[in-house]
Structure 1
């Protein structure tokens, strides 16, 4: 559907005693990559919150393939696979400097009303931004 690439460098605090990136950091990396995809559509998380919505993760699945270390530059390819009703599905592929796939992941998120945490449809401005991007992809 919609893809975005985000590049970053592994920070020293992200590593563990074994000298590799601790598994807990992958969730943080993918959250940042996901919001960079949204930002590329003109949507900030702040704008979602200010409109009265939250977007909690309701499912995560990771596949660890290779390790990575401090100061390595990584690239995340994030794909917004689908948006249906209250839910969105994303996939992620994380590559190292040698362009080797080191991790794959999937997340499922749901829109909720910020004040009640009740599931709700995606706000119109989010759906419109996604549809505009899809139209642009079909034209090109």
Structure 2
């Protein structure tokens, strides 16, 4: 009977030691998934914006496309850079859309390890028609 109690105590102690590690690992996986989702949204927004920009759209229309194709991202944390400037675009030249987004980590433990903000970058280039 005593031997059975010792085994139970050992397995309980092992579970208590392993549980925090497993929880942190699970939260890290969830945070990585949310971060990857935001990056893919940002990359898609850059592609759509470049596509719109190649048909002669203004910077305001390009920025509107970025905002509308990235509803999960906070616009005030988004930095948009469009090259060349609106007045100097010529057919056959590349239009480059660069996006930079300051992503705030949602899981506090992960934020303590990597910092509270991670910068996501996306860039797309397409020829102007």
TM class by shorter chain equals 0.3 to 0.5
Q: In proportion to residue count, which structure has more helix?
A: 2
Q: TM-score, normalised by structure 1?
A: 0.33
Length-normalised TM-score, structure 2 = 0.35
